Structure 1
């Protein structure tokens, strides 16, 4: 039985705790939160020991692996400490706010020989997996063009002050638009080489972005675009349109996947389910724990997580300087 610790037993820590109840071979044994009353409520609901200091959780011999679900700017020091304590690490996206910090985390995990997996949950949704299966088996050839969108309400109930400031890794792109960017990168099956972008704060009074439009090049072979928009009022849009050598796919995270060939659209069976996000998180944990048990690389690698951050770094610089930037890791 693998003992799990949650560092950051707040809004999304709760989602992780719920997923734990459905996982065989692992058990939530400890949680950490800097709010004593909130921590007491969390442990009452989900069990396990409660710690106000993450260092005490890392010293607990019952904890074999941790999930870091803290504000973005707190990831680096905590993740490095997790590695030093010999704990396997699932870390919420973004892995860190900068490429340099991502590299520090990766180096620490490699030195400690622990599994490090960034939590890009949408890669474990049924629509993504159905599209991925078609791409891998369907003779589509290469992706030549892709468009991915994350367009949603920004001021949700879990929004905190750190979300609103770029100094603490806030903003729509790092918080939610990153999902659309990661999906596009995963579907492309190659690293982005160049990024141009427009970023803005259009709907809210805050320092961080609530709009980002990215144009990516994958060498000379492919291109893509990402829309990250956190509106003040509207309805949720999340999906991708992918154009391959032989066929197109529309991936809708509310309606499922549709295949386009021969001038006809065909719905793809078994490509949508109830509680898309919750089921994806369960699959994400299953993949992480398999990597821990087997000593293998997880399906979403630390390098994948760093590349997404590199694209975002390039996007913000491209927007400031109004020119295309090379993606640098």
Structure 2
């Protein structure tokens, strides 16, 4: 193996701007990521040229066909950042080519697709993980460490909320064309929030809840976006409220999300932000902020970005010293992948954990299509 893990990136869309900094050589020393970007692939030649110039990648290592990139023996590992319906095809090809694989969420459209990828990785003895940066958001990492030490006792309840604005004070301007696939049935079950972005939330909830989710109930309302030049409003899958139940019905979690025509928040990324409460047997943890900057420098109300908690003696504590920038979670997640390749330790998410979270997401969508009924996880045996 080379001194540095040599990475190829397949797909250079919007989210790649948060994956690429992990391989910025000027940042590697401080971030301690011993890897370099050596090859890239995208059908957009203009985007290929931009990234190639930024990362000093020769034209000979820029591809429009992922198969050509996978043939290169100078590539040790690949990051796959393409629409969900292409994941199985490319991941299986990468496994057969002997590459270590980091696959962006959502890993698959069905459990059988996920199983095919897991089998290919096992048969070819390659490192395979699903990229899930929310578990590497530093306030969430701090909160999980507190949960694992028993500071608040066993988790009994989680409330996770996301707020979004079609327009906000600042944030990415994402062209409709670049995200249109998320509104299709074939590519994303017409569920950009419940299934796609929701994968992050299902992941964090199942992580912090510390016991298996038994069933899901999803209520869904109606929100339409009016876009200039398009005569018919575009239907989103928000607002919604998901209830995750355990076999012990005293333990549960909720996820609620709403999109508004305007929301008074700043963001360096998507114009949304999150807030989480974790209630335990003998304490509680509150985590303002994640994707956006709504709570940055908040001197009143919910509090600043970071972690705030109340212990069994009724005393309040805060830690806002960690890096709360959402972009840092991508770097942390990439670092975990590279370390996993070098040490042989399974990087998060393991294929098995990723499959379980996929099953939760499929369950949540199925509930919306069956009159918001409670759907047991065991009912999901493949797709919807």
Question: TM-score by structure 2 length?
Answer: 0.80
Aligned to 1:199: 220
Is there any run of 5+ residues in structure 2 with no aligned partner, and where?
226-232, 266-271, 290-294, 296-304
Query: Of 307, 316, 323, which residue of structure 1 is paired with 2:356?
Result: 307
1:175 maps to 196
Tell me, yes or no, if structure 1 residue 14 matches structure 2 residue 17.
Answer: yes
Distance 2:328 2:217 in 1: 34
User: Following TM superposition, by how much is the alpha carbon of 1:208 offset from its aligned partner in structure 2, in angstroms?
Assistant: 5.3
SS in 2 for 1:11: coil
In structure 2, the residue matched to 1:217 is 245
Q: Distance in 2 between matches of 1:228 and 1:327?
A: 22
Greater radius of gyration (CA): 2
The SS at the match of 1:122 is helix
Contact 2:132 2:348 (C-alpha < 8 Å) held by counterparts: no
Cα deviation, residue 68, structure 1 = 0.7
Larger mean Cα displacement after TM superposition, 158-167 or 47-56: 158-167
Q: How does 1:291-306 map to 2 (within 5 A)?
A: 291-306=340-355
Matches within 5 A, 1:280-295: 280-295=329-344
Q: Pick from 30, 36, 57 the counterpart of residue 39 of structure 2.
A: 30
Paired residue for 2:48, among 39, 51, 58? 39
Counterpart residue number, 2:302: none
Name the stretch that deviates more: 233-242 or 67-76: 233-242
Stretch deviating more after TM superposition (153-162 or 83-92): 153-162
Shift of 1:194: 0.6
CA contact (8 A) 1:195 1:217 kept: yes
CA distance in 1, matches of 2:92, 2:162: 30
2:224–2:236: 8 Å Cα contact kept in structure 1? no
Which position in structure 1 is the counterpart of 2:76? 64
Aligned residue in 2 for 1:77: 89
Q: In the alignment, is the contact (CA less than 8 A) between 2:130 and 2:348 conserved in 1?
A: no
Structure 1 equivalent of residue 230 of structure 2: none
Q: Residues 187-218 of structure 1, C-alpha deviation per residue, up to 9 Å, x if partnerless?
A: 11232111111134413333552333110112
Q: Which runs of 5+ in 1 are unaligned?
A: none
Distance in 1 (alpha carbons) for counterparts of 2:15 and 2:236: 21
Q: Residue 247 of structure 1: which of 256, 263, 283 is its match?
A: 283
Q: Distance in 2 between matches of 1:85 and 1:154?
A: 42
Q: Distance in 2 between matches of 1:67 and 1:206?
A: 31
| TM-superposed deviation, 1:37 | 2.0
For residues 71 and 259 of structure 2, what CA distance do their matches in structure 1 show? 39
Pairing of 1:69-108 with structure 2 (within 5 A): 69-108=81-120
How far off its partner does 1:55 sit?
0.4
Structure 2 distance, partners of 1:239, 1:120, is 18
Partner of 1:326: 376
| CA–CA distance in structure 2, aligned partners of residues 230 and 7 of structure 1 | 31
Which of 146, 156, 173 is matched with 1:157 structurally? 173
Contact 1:19–1:278 (8 Å) recurs in 2: no
Correspondent of 2:159 among 147, 166, 183: 147
Contact 1:177 1:227 in 2 (8 A): no
1:188 aligns with 2:209: yes
Matched positions, count: 327
2-side partners of 1:120 and 1:148: how far apart? 17
4 and 154 in structure 1: CA distance in 2 versus 1, 3 angstrom threshold: farther
Shift in Å at residue 64 of structure 1? Answer: 0.7
Cα distance in 2 for residues equivalent to 1:16 and 1:237: 20
Post-superposition offset of 1:16: 1.4
Cα-Cα RMSD: 2.0
2:318 & 2:209 partners in 1: Cα distance? 22
Task: Judge which range, 301-310 or 174-183, deviates more.
Answer: 174-183
Distance 1:230 1:181, change over 3 A: farther
TM-score normalised by the chain length of structure 1: 0.92
